[in-house]
Structure 1
Amino acid sequence: MENIIHHYLTLPLLEVIAVIASLLYVVLAAKKNIWCWPAAFISTVIYTFLFYKFYLWMDSFLQVYYMGMAFYGWYCWNKPTEDFHSNSIQLKTYTATTHLISIVILTIISLSVGWFMDKYTPTDFPYLDSATTVFSVFSTYLVAQKVIENWLYWIVIDAVSIYLYVEKGLTPTAFLFGVFILIAAYGYYIWRQEYKDDDMTHSEVLN
């Protein structure tokens, strides 16, 4: 723990900004604060170069995708709604069947991309790197669409990412993703509770 704290205290300025922006993104997203998206954009610009340098090329590509999703997320969260709760972000939930089908499709895509990366690039951990990237692409879309279960995907993705970063010697980043798991669990709890509260409010209005 002391080594991790020391490392964070001696990080280059750009990495410090990336770490802070990443934390802000997850915390603000859990609180449904639209300013999570500018924070996401800042962190992704920096991490794009960092992951490319460490031969986690799919992760680097993922950061480029995140840049675009930062704009898309801002648009979705800022879009007016006709619902009576017009000043709040409306949450959604997908059925278990929808998630199961999504996971099967994403797994097939991950294996295909992993095979390509393993055969044609020098990237490390091609299959795991590809899987975290493919599932993160989907999970980020779920965040932008305000789907509650996005947080459950992130818990698994972050856990796998911790292993990757530890193996690459990116211990501080691995520690950061450990914090992300805790925040994701908090985000799921908060979004789930608010979704239930909104359901009750809707029922009361209809009655």
Structure 2
Amino acid sequence: MSTLEIIAVLINIIGVWLTTQRIRWCWPVSVVAVLLYAWIFYDAKLYSDMLLQVIFAFLQGYGWWRWSQGGLDNGKVHVARLPLRTAVLSLIVGALAAVLLGSLMAHFTDAAVPWLDASLTAFSLVASVWAARKYVASWWLWIVLDCVYVGMYLHRDLDLTAGLYAGFVVLAFYGYRAWRRDLLSQEARRGVLSGQIGVGG
């Protein structure tokens, strides 16, 4: 456990909490957190995770832009259902990316857990894009991923980071409930039928 890891944990918690509240400042805060973790994961030889953090830094800009589009509800962004077609296609892309990245990491690096790390990296990118597009279902994917991350970080002796991701699981459940409540409220105001096709609502 290092001072850098402690700082990264605290900033990450702030970023995720702002996300659950649908506050756009979650994105710049998260940029700082992911850059700190890129260095931490490099030291731990979790190269896929390091790469993920670098890509995350760019995704934060995309998320900031997406969340700046459209109207606000008392200073908070509107959320949406995940279209079924989008869900299927993005999960297929995630699986293909996991196979490609896992193969590269296994053959060309000394990554500690190349296939698991690559899979988590690929599907974390899927979850991040879903979150940037304000899909409620993004929280369900984060819950699954964060549970697996806890085990991987414990295996790599990143105990504080494992604790952080355990906390993320709790925050993700809270985020899902909050976003779903807001989604139903939005739909009620617009007169949208609750049976609209979508995932995670």
Is 1:28 the counterpart of 2:42? The answer is no
TM-score, length-normalised on structure 2?
0.89
User: Which of 174, 187, 195 is 2:162 aligned to?
Assistant: 174
Match of 1:92 among 46, 71, 80: 80
1:103 deviates by: 2.1
User: What residue in structure 2 maps to residue 165 of structure 1?
Assistant: 153
TM-score, normalised via structure 1 length: 0.86
**CA shift at 1:178, angstroms?**
0.3
Equivalent pairs, count: 192
| 72 and 102 in structure 1: CA distance in 2 versus 1, 3 angstrom threshold | closer
Distance 1:55 1:159 in 2: 20
The equivalent of 2:179 in structure 1 is 191
Q: How does 1:1-207 map to 2 (within 5 A)?
A: 11-12=2-3, 14-79=4-69, 81=70, 88-203=76-191
Relative to structure 1, is the Cα distance of residues 84 and 48 closer, same or farther in structure 2, using a 3 angstrom cutoff? closer
**Percent identity for Structure 1 against Structure 2:** 28
Alpha carbons of 1:97 and 1:22: their partners in 2 closer, same or farther (altered >3 Å)?
A: same
| 1:122–1:141 distance in 2 versus 1, CA, 3 Å | same
Tell which has more relative contact order, 1 or 2 (C-alpha 8 A, sep 6+). 2
Matching residue of 2:199: none
Q: Which runs of 5+ in 2 are unaligned?
A: 193-201
SS at structure 1 position matched to 2:191: helix
Larger radius of gyration: 1
The more displaced of 107-116 and 62-71 is: 107-116
